[in-house]
Chains A and B, each alone.
Chain A
Amino acid sequence: MKNQFTRRSVLARLGGAVAGVLSLPAARAAKAAVQKVFVSSGAPRGYDPSKHKWLMCVDVNKCIGCGLCAEACKKENNVPEGPYFRTWIERYIIPKPKPASGETRGEAIVDCPNGGMHGFPEAAIPKDQIEHSFFVPKLCNLCEHSPCVQVCPVGATFDAPDGAVLIDPKYCIGCGFCIQACPYGCRFLSPVTKTAEKCSLCYHRITRGLKPACVEVCPTQARIFGDLKNMAPDDPIQKFYEQNRVQVLKPHLGTNPRVLYAGLDKEVR
């Protein structure tokens, strides 16, 4: 009987099989990547993400802790009730140091009742003992090197070309790895959809020329939203840059956030 399995034929078959196996995930990944940006993101048809670069700036000095932003976000994005927030406000109360303690300040008291949605109660210490008190709005930090995107096993969370970090809810397997990897506590596992959720910068709004809900309702303009690729000469972002020295949260982690803060304190993490 003639030997059908020559070395050449076996190698050719093996090579073909390996090439097929290798190209399958790549093809599917490419298809999925295209789908993600243009289909599942909530952007309208015709929106070109490569022509924008979104940015959020927060002026801590202007925030009055009214909580409208957190409430608007919950309503706009159908965020589940309970301890689930896409944006929230933290209150920092830094007491005066105890006399002769040798310290520059007392230990910071931080709170955020219900995400700051309904404002804040009276401070736990008398007013005359408070050295500083301020509010810090928090949201997805729009990292350039996002740890959440890096660890997602299926690529359900991804960096859109316009700088937004998005999640495809139809693709997320709900493993929670991204939630563990986010240093800022911005993600949660939705009890409704069983997938990871986070601030999307109100992607369905910004891709239609609107501002995110939190920016829209902020009465003091503590949140400034802009597009780095389409800046007007008197753009608020430009003004913010000129008037402030900016900081980011947890810079030592190398995530390079694009949510910039003015007026942060060393206690803020």
Chain B
Amino acid sequence: MTPDVTNVLVEVLPKFEGYVYPNEAGPHPLWGFLIVLYPYITGLVAGAFIMASLVRVFKVQALEPVYRLSMLTSFSFLLCATLPLLFHLGHPERCFEIMMTPHLTSPMAIFGFVYAWYLMAVLLLELWFDYRYDLVQWSKTTPGFRGIIYRLFTVGVTDESPAATALDAKLGRFLSVVGIPSAFLLHGYVGFIFGSVKANPWWGNVLMPIIFIMSAIVSGIALCVFNYMVLTWIRRRTIDMRCLDTMAMFLFYALVVDAAIEGLDWIHRIYAAEEGFSVMQTMIREKLFYTLNLGQATVGTLIPLLALGSLQLLRKRVPEMIRKRMIGVSALMILVGVLAMRWNVVIGGQLFSKSLRGVMGYKLEFAGVEGWFMGLILLSLPFVILTTLVKLFLSEQLPATSGHVPQGEGAEQAL
């Protein structure tokens, strides 16, 4: 296109109101839907891990049936967590420079190390210690390619003595204890990437890492509830109601803390009404009306809060079937609400000019790297990985051997 035509297009078809800096007047925000998915997926990783830690560290026996499922969920989402970031880069082929020559004052550089630590030192090792004894057993009894896979995963450590299994349990628990602050660090850091941008009043906020951690825990538990219900439905088993009720309880309390901190953030913003407050009002009233008021506040917070809260008070009076549906729907609504929250943070922060004099528009497109189809693929990928992992490591055909395989009648029905 000739410069004249380009200039005419830029001048005639502005996608903004008021005044925005000329470099902000491009057709799309710099960080699009992919960067919305990045904190969403990372949050699900951290949340699902915290859920698993409730069993391992805090000995919540009722949650035994979902321990391994939570760990596998966390792991499969972690494998995909950096993909949106990678696809978004202008030069993905240079991504390893982040690890090779990191700039230590950059939150994004340190995230690379936190991610690597979490993947290699925490999740992978903990899963291996948890599964090692079973892998040895399964590699002996399972024939064919599957057996070879189990044998490969043992990495040659086939010691089945009680001392070895005791060591597995001990190290696994130690890693789980280390894993909790690591999960907080992982997602707190994602929050810090946004919270540290002082140029942007929508992001630059000291509460941002805490808001991200709490919403991560909420979304992670909701995902585990969803996965557990879907898995039992697919396998035509009955749900262990003790487990589901306990998950709903933790989901409710995490949601209360999350809603309180986000509420505090808003109260502070409204009361302090600092520079840029009027542009924020425009955002809430117009640009982010549906995703913020409807998606994040009503669907993602208020309705689940009421539904799960009423279940805490009236659990015994609500029939099992209704309880299941209420918890399932609440979990789904929370998952949608947290996605809306990530959208509001990432896209919302780019819908107004840093001159604080104008707002830009954004329409999510279907095609392209930043399109919603690509987003859908990236969101489906962890579920594909999870399905494979569940087939391999949570199979009904495998003999229940040790560790955190569900105990008791109700739990056995669950898987």
Contacts and interface: CB of A to CB of B under 8 A. Distances in A.
A95 B92 CA distance: 49
A29 B101 contact: yes
B23 interface: yes
B25 A83 contact: yes
B23 A114 contact: no
Contacts of A179: 23, 30
A23 interface: no
Interface in B65-106: 85, 88-92, 94-95, 97-98, 100-103, 105-106
Contact of B6 (A24, A82, A182, A185): A82
B130 interface: no
B196 A114 contact: no
B395 interface: no
Contacts of A175: 85, 88-90, 108
A248 interface: no
A176 B30 contact: yes
Given A189-B90, A269-B356, A177 B199 contact: no
B120 to A, nearest CB: 13
A28 B98 CA distance: 12
A28 B104 CA distance: 13
Nearest to A268: B355
Contacts of A185: 21-24, 353-355
B23 A153 contact: no
Contact of A195 (B91, B92, B103, B357): B91
Contacts of A236: none
A31 B227 CA distance: 49
Interface in A61-90: 81-85, 88, 90
- Please indicate which of the listed interface residues B94, B275, B350 has the most CB atoms of chain A within 10 Å of its own CB: B94
Interface residues of B, number: 50
A51 interface: no
B7 A114 contact: yes
A173 interface: yes
A184 B19 CA distance: 13
B357 A174 contact: no
19 contacts: A25-B100, A25-B102, A81-B3, A85-B22, A85-B23, A112-B21, A114-B11, A151-B105, A153-B103, A155-B101, A172-B94, A173-B90, A173-B91, A176-B31, A179-B30, A180-B31, A180-B203, A187-B23, A269-B354
Interface of B: 1, 3, 6-7, 10-11, 19, 21-26, 30-31, 85, 88-92, 94-95, 97-98, 100-103, 105-109, 112, 193, 196-200, 203, 275, 349-350, 353-357
Given A84-B22, A154-B98, A185-B355, 15 more contacts: A83-B10, A83-B23, A85-B23, A108-B357, A110-B357, A113-B11, A114-B7, A147-B197, A153-B106, A173-B92, A176-B90, A180-B349, A182-B199, A185-B23, A188-B26
